[in-house]
């Protein structure tokens, strides 16, 4: 039985997902007690949130020069892996893992040990540590609730399965900010162009990933782990309206879809309130306003990162870790204005070809391989500035 008021930890509280989750917590104070808030280095933002939500514990990776008097009532944790360490003694029932990148893997790992439910936004944790994370979730008998909108949609559709086998999962993709650009325009797209996402407002890293369509590749790997589907049975369709959030196809050809506005508070609220649906305050979706829904096949020639994700998933072993690590490094360089947009896809391609295949048996293997991929990417990109 779900307790009436749940103690929730928000890891990555200052980010796009974190702040939207806190909007929901703010709306339902009787449902959520926020016991832990963490961030990387946005100290002032976190202080504000701590003043408002009064958690038991808060954490920052980068220790600030000074902690204001009025936020000293809670325990503070600083430095490496501070989010995971804070979570350990927060007493949270649920942890929303919304740190960006592989930096969030340790949090997911810790959350599976000490919380009943893990609300997973941090897709890179599953891409890099998928088998280990899923095995731990099973072993610890934890509920893993997807927050990514596509996976939330599939999770919701699967609840109507009633024991029937699934033929395939169909992930929808907006196509990102460069969806209708030519190959030449894509090659030289500026940071500003790339961050102008047509339908979703998100953090910078994932917005770049949408523009390369590598995000959809991460989501294919995420779906493979969450729902136990092979690469062959996970399809992607470009759906510019972002109204159908994803679909499940059954053996009789019937397709169930979940529809909604392109508002992440929908899937975040669904995971937070699960199994109850909590209205998050958004306007209802008007299908007559939307008018028509369109779907098309992804264009591999302009967006090669999606098929690289399938390749990494099929190759297994450390390939998904290399895929992710090279991308994180390349996106950082692009956002820093040091390399052209087109280098991201070339860097990921080179890393998949150039980093030797190794088995992944532990979390340490994941982190070691991530470092190897980043070192490879830095060297590759260093020669191309
Ligand atoms: P943001 O960049 O907006 O926020 C990231 C958050 O993580 C910030 O609070 C940041 O703190 C914190 N953070 C970053 N690194 C660390 C670290 N090493 N230790 C502790 N905290 C850290 O990202 P998003 O909210 O957009 O995305 C979060 C995750 O959710 C990603 O994995 C993304 O793929 C996934 N996701 C996001 C969606 C969205 O709509 N935004 C949709 C679906 C999935 P600080 O502010 O100090 O830097
Ligand atoms: Mg998504």
pLDDT in tens, 330-372: 999 999 999 999 999 999 999 999 999 999 999 999 999 999 9
The enclosing H or E element of 364 equals helix 363-382
Task: Give 11's pLDDT tier (boundaries 50, 70, 90).
Answer: very high
Alpha-carbon torsion angle 37, 43, 363, 140, nearest 10: 0
Q: CA–CA distance from 209 to each of 57, 64, 362 (Å)?
A: 32, 30, 27
Residue 118 pairs with which residues in a beta bridge? Answer: 95, 144
The pocket around ligand 1, CB under 6 angstroms, is made up of 12-18, 38-42, 61, 83, 98-100, 103, 121-124, 148, 200, 202-203, 205-206, 264
**What pLDDT score does 174 carry?**
96
Radius of gyration of the chain (CA): 20
Residue nearest atom 42 in ligand 1 by C-alpha distance: 148
Candidates 45, 99, 152: which one to mutate for ligand 1, based on the most atoms within 8 Å of Cβ?
99
Q: What is the DSSP letter of 296?
A: B
Mean residue pLDDT across the chain: 97
**What pLDDT score does 2 carry?**
52
Q: Is the pTM here over 0.95, yes or no?
A: yes
Using the predicted structure, report yes or no on whether residue 1 has a pLDDT greater than 70.
Answer: no
Candidates 39, 83, 145, 210: which one to mutate for ligand 1, based on the most atoms within 8 Å of Cβ?
39
Using the predicted structure, report yes or no on whether residue 3 has a pLDDT greater than 70.
Answer: no
Q: How far apart are CA 180 and CA 172, in angstroms?
A: 16
Write out pLDDT tens, residues 206-258: 999 999 999 999 999 999 999 999 999 999 999 999 999 999 999 999 999 99
Structure tokens at 214: 């590598």
Write out pLDDT tens, residues 278-294: 999 999 999 999 999 99
Strands across the sheet containing 166-173: 234-238, 166-173, 244-250, 255-259
Write out pLDDT tens, residues 35-68: 999 999 999 999 999 999 999 999 999 999 999 9
**What pLDDT score does 383 carry?**
82
In the chain, DSSP finds a helix count (H) and a strand count (E) of 16, 11
Using the predicted structure, report yes or no on whether residue 77 has a pLDDT greater than 80.
Answer: yes
């Amino acid at each position: 039985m779900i307790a009436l008021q749940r103690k929730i930890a928000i890891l990555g509280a200052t980010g796009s997902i974190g702040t939207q989750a806190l909007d929901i917590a703010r709306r339902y104070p009787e449902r959520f007690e926020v016991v832990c808030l963490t961030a990387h280095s946005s100290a002032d933002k976190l202080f504000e949130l701590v003043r408002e939500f009064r958690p038991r514990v808060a954490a920052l990776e980068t220790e600030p020069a000074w902690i204001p008097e009025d936020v000293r009532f809670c325990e503070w944790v600083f430095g490496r892996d501070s989010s995971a360490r804070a979570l350990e003694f927060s007493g949270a029932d649920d942890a929303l893992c919304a740190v960006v990148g592989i930096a969030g893997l340790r949090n997911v790992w810790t959350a599976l040990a000490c919380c009943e439910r893990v609300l997973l936004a941090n897709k890179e944790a599953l891409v890099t540590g998928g088998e280990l994370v899923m095995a731990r979730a099973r072993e610890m008998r934890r509920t893993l609730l997807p927050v990514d909108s596509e996976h939330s949609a599939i999770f919701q559709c699967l609840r109507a399965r009633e024991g029937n086998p699934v033929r395939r999962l169909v992930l929808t993709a907006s196509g990102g900010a460069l969806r209708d650009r030519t190959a030449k325009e894509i090659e030289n797209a500026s940071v500003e162009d790339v961050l102008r996402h047509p339908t979703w407002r998100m953090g910078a890293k994932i917005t770049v990933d949408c523009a390369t369509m590598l995000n959809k590749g991460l989501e294919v790997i995420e779906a493979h782990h969450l729902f136990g589907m092979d690469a062959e049975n996970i399809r992607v369709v470009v759906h510019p309206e972002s109204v159908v959030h994803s679909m499940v196809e059954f053996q009789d050809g019937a397709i169930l879809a979940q529809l909604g506005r392109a508002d992440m508070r929908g899937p975040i609220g669904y995971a937070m309130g699960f199994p109850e649906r909590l209205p998050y305050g958004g306007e209802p979706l008007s299908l007559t306003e939307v008018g028509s829904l369109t779907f098309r096949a992804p264009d591999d020639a302009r967006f090669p990162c999606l098929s690289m994700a399938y390749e990494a998933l099929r190759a297994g072993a450390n390939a998904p870790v290399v895929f992710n690590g090279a991308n994180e490094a390349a996106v950082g360089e692009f956002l820093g204005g040091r390399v052209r947009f087109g280098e991201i896809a070339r860097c990921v391609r080179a890393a998949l070809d150039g980093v030797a295949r190794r088995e992944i048996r532990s979390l340490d293997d994941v982190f070691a391989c991530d470092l190897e991929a980043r070192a490879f990417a830095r060297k590759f990109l260093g020669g191309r500035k």
